[in-house]
């Protein structure tokens, strides 16, 4: 071999030696030799049948935490066939990209079934624009914003999302200011509506100049920023991915976020509020008041037992309403709330039907089952008259509404909750009904409260004096925001109800949120529609898991705290409940 060939061999040997040295340094720097020795010792003493499987599992436990590699957004349909957004999060897991979570969030418009076609078409256009904007946000901004983030860093993720959302809000305000500067509008101040009162001896059709108490005008609707659904959906998707990384069910992961890892030894299931009938404005018949007549199971019933009871009750109600009455067959249909919409001409009619159905099943209304009424009063106000139209042609002032509810509860003590009995603007009447009935039943604000973001944004936000609030995870609400508001509500000695949208998707995470946030109730609608059944099914799974892991605790009986002389005009993070309370109990 010549000197040139010998040189090539020496150079190759030197390169091989240097490569071995770099490899040794690389593995030594990453602690591989020690880890391998530890793994071999552990595996040897455990003596597994599958040695390589055991080694793979062992190294999986010490591998790097997954990080978000990218997000995708898709245009999908919700349970009513309306456009909404799906968010998927993918992570790098052991050097491979893997889908970690997917969320479909409702993009409900909040419109009722009775809206006119023009409003429905306008809402549809806004929905399409909002979905398109949300997908643009996800693709162009949120995807690079969260890339490289560990999914378990929920607070950091939510802060990034909130900062981006705030930036978009400020951008919208600037655009609006420029628009108003170019085309100034003359403001028209809203005035209280002063209904005229008829004199007893006035001729028919004439009104007296004597006026009744004026009512406050309706507050402007909270503006919803187009695309904001991307924020809420992404935050929930990050939480779901974090629960996968932690190898924990979502409800336990949410509970750990709420309690900062210090989990209670026992947890309870939320009480399901199951919609049985709808007799509101969108239903046939004369009555407008009862948008939802809701069943509340006894606190000692499991989710499984509760659903079985309400399935039987729903079937019996259907049989009763199929019968021919003196006035002919009962008009009914099915609503997006997952229940029967029934034509009723009297306030007592739906309650009497439920009472009769209970009698057939030998259930005691008021003990085995109690009731809640979603009055949806904000949908009943006739602003030309300044009164609520509780039935077609039957109008009542806010003060008369309070009297009506007091009479209704006295005649039907099985009703232990009223949801939105008045508009949020009727603060005086909310206080009156609270002082009168809050020791007998829950007075719940749903549409009558503010959005989660508004509750956090201002500490002096006026809200009705109530027993509790319905929380909804929608639009720009992050998981961190939701946790913060629930803690504020609990600090005010109020109860939390997790509620679904009227236009729901098949996403079942709401059940996990309700359990993890320790909500007293969960309001999902009826048992008929599939997008609602998925959430009830998820509750069944969670209950079984909690029972198997021995963390399922018994619920407490209903307690209706009355807080005397406590003006409830805001939620304050440093407020503690008054110690001077009178409590009423319902067993």
Kind of pairing between the strands at 468-471 and 369-374: unpaired
Residue carrying the six token digits 């108490």: 213
Going by the DSSP 8-state scheme, the letter that residue 139 receives in this structure is: I
HSE at residue 356, side-chain half, CA atoms within 13 A, is 14
CB neighbour list of residue 536: distance below 8 Å, 6 or more residues apart: 272, 303, 307, 511, 524, 527
**Between the CA of residue 96 and those of 67, 99, 568, what are the distances in Å?**
11, 10, 53
Going by the DSSP 8-state scheme, the letter that residue 379 receives in this structure is: G
387, 472, 523, 535: the catalytic one is 472
State how far the Cα of 468 lies from the Cα of 561, in Å rounded to an integer.
Answer: 11
Please work out, in degrees rounded to the nearest 5, the angle formed at the alpha carbon of residue 380 by the alpha carbons of 378 and 383.
90
Burial class of residue 401, CB neighbours in 10 A (0-12, 13-18, 19+): buried
Residue carrying the six token digits 């997790």: 498
Instruction: Give the residue from 314, 353, 370, 355 showing the smallest Cα distance to 337.
Output: 314
Residue carrying the six token digits 């306008």: 122
Instruction: Give the residue from 453, 429, 332, 330 showing the smallest Cα distance to 375.
Output: 429
How many Cβ atoms are within 10 Å of 140's Cβ, its own excluded? 10
By the 8 A CB rule, do 202 and 208 touch? yes
Q: Which two tokens stand for residue 401?
A: 């509404």
Angle between helices 229-245 and 479-491 (to 10 degrees): 90
Instruction: Give the residue from 303, 214, 298 showing the smallest Cα distance to 251.
Output: 303
472 catalytic, yes or no? yes
- Exposure string over 352-373, b if 16+ CB within 10 A, otherwise e: ebbbebbeeeebebbebbbbbb
Annotated catalytic residues are 472
């Amino acid at each position: 071999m010549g000197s040139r060939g010998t040189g090539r061999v020496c150079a190759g040997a030197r390169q091989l030696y240097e490569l071995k040295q770099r490899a040794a340094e690389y593995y030594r720097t990453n602690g591989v030799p020690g880890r391998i020795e530890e793994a071999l010792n552990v595996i040897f003493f455990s003596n597994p049948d599958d040695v390589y499987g055991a080694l793979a599992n062992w190294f999986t436990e010490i591998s790097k935490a997954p990080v978000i590699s990218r997000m995708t957004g898709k245009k999908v349909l919700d349970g009513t066939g309306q456009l909404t957004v799906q968010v998927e999060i993918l992570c790098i897991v052991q050097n491979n990209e893997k889908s970690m979570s997917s969320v479909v969030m409702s993009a409900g418009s909040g419109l009722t079934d009775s809206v006119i076609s023009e409003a429905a078409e306008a809402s549809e256009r806004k929905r399409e624009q909002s979905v398109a904007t949300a997908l643009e946000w996800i693709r162009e901004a949120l995807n690079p914003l969260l890339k490289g983030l560990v999914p378990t860093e929920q607070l950091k993720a939510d802060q990034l999302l909130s900062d981006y959302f705030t930036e978009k809000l400020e951008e919208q305000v600037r655009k609006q200011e420029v628009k108003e500067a170019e085309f100034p509008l003359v403001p028209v101040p809203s005035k209280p509506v002063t209904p005229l009162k008829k004199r007893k001896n006035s001729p028919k059709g004439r009104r007296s100049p004597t006026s009744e108490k004026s009512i406050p005008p309706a507050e402007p609707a909270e503006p919803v920023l187009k695309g904001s659904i991307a924020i809420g959906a992404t935050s929930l998707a990050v939480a779901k991915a974090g629960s996968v990384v932690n190898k924990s069910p979502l409800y336990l992961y949410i509970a750990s976020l709420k309690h900062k890892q210090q989990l209670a030894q026992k947890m309870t299931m939320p009480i399901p509020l199951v919609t049985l009938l709808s007799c509101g404005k969108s239903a046939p018949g004369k009555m407008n008041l009862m948008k939802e007549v809701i069943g509340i199971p006894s606190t000692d019933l499991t989710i499984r037992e509760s659903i079985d009871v309400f399935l039987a009750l729903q079937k019996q109600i259907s049989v009763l309403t199929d019968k021919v009455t003196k006035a002919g067959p009962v008009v009914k249909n099915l609503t997006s709330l997952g229940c029967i919409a029934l034509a009723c001409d009297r306030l007592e009619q739906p309650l009497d039907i439920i009472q009769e159905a209970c009698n057939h099943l030998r259930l005691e209304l008021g003990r085995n089952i109690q009731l809640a009424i979603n009055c949806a009063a904000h949908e009943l106000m006739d602003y030309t008259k300044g009164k609520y139209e509780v039935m077609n042609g039957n109008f009542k002032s806010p003060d008369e509404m309070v009297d009506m509810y007091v009479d209704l509860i006295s005649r039907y003590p099985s009703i232990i909750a009223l949801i939105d009995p008045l508009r949020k603007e009727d603060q005086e009447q909310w206080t009156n009904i609270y002082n009168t009935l809050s020791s007998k039943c829950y007075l719940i604000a749903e549409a009558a409260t503010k959005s989660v973001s508004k509750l956090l944004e201002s500490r002096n936000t006026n809200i009705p004096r109530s027993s509790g609030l319905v929380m909804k995870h929608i639009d720009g609400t992050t998981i961190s925001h939701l946790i913060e508001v629930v803690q504020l509500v609990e600090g005010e000695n109020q109860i939390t109800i997790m509620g679904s949208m009227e236009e729901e998707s098949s996403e079942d995470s709401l059940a996990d949120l309700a359990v993890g946030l320790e909500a007293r109730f969960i309001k999902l609608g009826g048992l008929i529609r599939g997008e609602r059944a998925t959430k009830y099914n998820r509750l069944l799974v969670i209950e079984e898991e909690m029972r198997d892991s021995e963390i399922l605790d018994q619920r407490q009986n209903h307690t209706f705290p009355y807080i005397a002389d406590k003006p409830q005009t805001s939620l304050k993070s440093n407020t503690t409940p008054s110690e001077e309370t009178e409590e009423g109990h319902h067993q």
